[in-house]
Structure formats: C-alpha cells, structure tokens
Amino acid sequence: MSDQTTPNRTARWVKLLLAVSLAINLGIAGLFAGAALRAPHNHAAPEAPEGIAIIARALPVKYQRQLRQSLRDHREDLRIDRAELTGLRNRLVRALRAKPFDIAAVDAVFQDQRAMLDAILATGHAEILKQIEQMSAADRKRFIRNLLGREADARPPKTAPAAPNRP
C-alpha cells in the first residue's frame, strides 16, 4: 500500500463565499468612507428667507398650513431665477475687472440683486398678510406670544418712566 496523502484543500464554495464576503465588506467600507469625505447635502426643500420663515413659524398652526399651501401655489414667484443670478454674477465680475474701475457699476449690480430679492420678499409678505387678515383677536394674541417667545398674555412691553426734566 502506498501512503498517498492528499493536501488539505478548501472546498471551492468556501473560497467563493469568502471572496463574495470580502467584496461586500469593501463595498460597505467604501460607502462609509465616501459619506464621511463628501460635503453634507441638504436635501430638504429650500426654506423661505429667514425674515419670512421666522414670522411663518410663529403663526398658529392652522395659518401655517394655509400659508404653506399658498406659498406652494406661488412657487414660481418665490424661486430665484438661476439664469438671472448667473447674469448678475457675470456683470459683477465685469464691473470688478473694468479699467477704469467704477464703483457705481458694482453698486448697480447690487441694486439689481436687491430688486430681485425684494420681489421674492414682497410675495412672501403678501401671503403672510392674507393669513394675518383672517385671524381672530385670540389668534393674533397667540401669534404675538409666538413671535415674542412668551407664554404670557400678549401685552405691549412696559416702557420706562420718563426722566424728569432738570433745568
């Protein structure tokens, strides 16, 4: 009899399973590394300008819902025109590079940018005004409390007594 020994061989399916497991682990590690290195993204809908958002959050819930729907209806009026914004940026760059430099040209670009943003704010304010107009006195009191961040009754702030006139 011959003593033939067969080398220890791992079954083919075990090797395949290990390779698949390694690939999955590397893929998951790559996802985590990519997520850690990537800049954070805000996938939420763009929020209203801060001045409008503060007022909108202070509205009683019923009016917030109505305002939200109204703003959705006016979505196009509230969007910044990206092409117009790009045009303003290009005008600003041209004004900054101009020889001779003219600060009035830079100011003109800023005035046009303010006009664009003012139109968006005006639309937001008009929609908020519609909600305020519908409020009862009690709702307005609640609105004032929310704006001031107080739970007390909405009363006008106390003023300091006038200083006596001294000759």
The contacts of residue 71 (CB under 8 Å, 6+ apart) are 48, 78, 124, 127
pLDDT value at residue 154: 44
pLDDT value at residue 84: 87
pLDDT value at residue 90: 92
pLDDT value at residue 46: 43
Q: 88-92: long-range contacts at Cβ-Cβ below 8 A with a sequence spacing of 24 or more?
A: 88/112, 88/113, 88/116
> Whole-angstrom Cα distance, residue 84 to residue 159?
47
DSSP 36-84: HHSPP---SPPPPPHHHHHHHHHS-HHHHHHHHHHHHHTHHHHS--HHH
Tens of each residue's pLDDT in the chain, 167 residues: 555 655 566 677 777 777 777 778 777 777 666 666 665 544 444 445 566 788 888 999 999 999 988 888 888 877 778 888 899 999 999 999 999 999 999 999 999 988 888 888 888 889 999 999 999 999 999 999 998 985 444 455 556 566 666 55
Task: Give the closest residue to 64 by CA, choosing from 44, 80, 48, 42.
Answer: 48
The pTM of this model reads 0.52
Compute the C-alpha angle 125/130/134, nearest 5°: 140
pLDDT value at residue 136: 94
pLDDT value at residue 38: 64
> Whole-angstrom Cα distance, residue 147 to residue 125?
15
